[in-house]
Amino acid sequence: MVEVTVLIDDKPSITGEGLEYEHGLSLLIGFDGQHILCDTGLSGKFIENATKMGFGLSNIDFTVISHGHYDHIGGLPSMLKMGFNFPIYLSKSIPGKRFFSYRNGSRREIGIDGQIFGGERDRFRYIGESVWLNQKAAIIANDSDHYSRPSGNRYLTVEDSFGERPDSFEHEISLALVTPNGLVVVSSCSHCGVMNIIESSLRFTGQTKLSAFIGGMHFIDDNGSGEGEAFDFIGSFSKLHSSAIIYTGHCTGQKAEEFFGKGVGKVDINYFSTGKKFLIAT
């Protein structure tokens, strides 16, 4: 089984556990005897929620940071202060960069203080290309552009010593888990495009079947684009991965969720929120 617990998400808990929520995502994944933390939300609130739900973060085997935006990496400083000594995997393209959003007409910085990468260097494992972590788990650096990427990327830039430019999202990585029932792909925000990430994951792992996709899709509610992108996605997904299950939340967007709710494509789509727990049969 793949066991998933949503430590924090944009949506509040519906179970009345008194959990914090925020614009961000943090997932705790149990798989093949390991505990994997995917992202740290916007702040240290995911740690508080883990404690309330009875999960000890000291039992984590490794952490994967999906990309450099603060709603996924913002809780990293708080986690480091806790003194845990598990490895943290992230793209080598994050340090030395600043990230910005121009959505809503103003320039906002959406990264974190890069000085954090100067300390505790032994903790960080920098990824430049797809790599196996063990026989059943791989980190995927997207290498496909067969399908379109989310239109919301147009608001996002990256800045380094060469100046500021549109973000290509080479700093985004995903997690792929090999199970007997097919590949489980975890992609927190999917700026590279869900279908591209799935294609990259299947190709790298040598798998032919997708069992489940977990994560956000970044179909933002902007000028009706969310519903249009959801339509294009569901057509491709239902054609190639009709037996796979989707678990989504965070940045997928309300318009997209409303469209998915119409049952177009007959894909099994489930929504998560803070505190949600679900199992994927393997």
What pLDDT, on a 0 to 100 scale, did the predictor assign at position 51?
94
123 compared with 171, residue with greater pLDDT = 171
pLDDT at 224 over 80: no
Q: Which is it for strands 277-280 and 268-271: parallel, antiparallel or unpaired? A: unpaired
Of 67, 121, 72, 75, which is closest to residue 94 (Cα–Cα)?
Answer: 67
Domains of the chain: 2-280 (3.60.15.10)
pLDDT at 185 over 70: yes
Task: List pLDDT tens digits, range 4-31.
Answer: 999 999 999 987 679 999 999 999 999 9
Mean pLDDT, all residues of the chain: 93
Containing 100, the helix (H) or strand (E) segment is: strand 98-101
- Edge-to-edge strands, sheet with 62-64: 124-127, 88-91, 62-64, 34-38, 26-31, 2-8, 277-280
Percent of all residues in the chain with a pLDDT value above 90, rounded to a whole number? 81
CA contacts within 13 A on the Cβ side of 110: 21
Of 6, 195, 153, which is closest to residue 69 (Cα–Cα)?
Answer: 153
What pLDDT, on a 0 to 100 scale, did the predictor assign at position 14?
87
255 compared with 142, residue with greater pLDDT = 142
Distance from C-alpha of 42 to C-alpha of 76, rounded to nearest angstrom: 9
Contacts of 117 (CB under 8 A, 6+ apart): 94, 95, 124
What pLDDT, on a 0 to 100 scale, did the predictor assign at position 129?
97
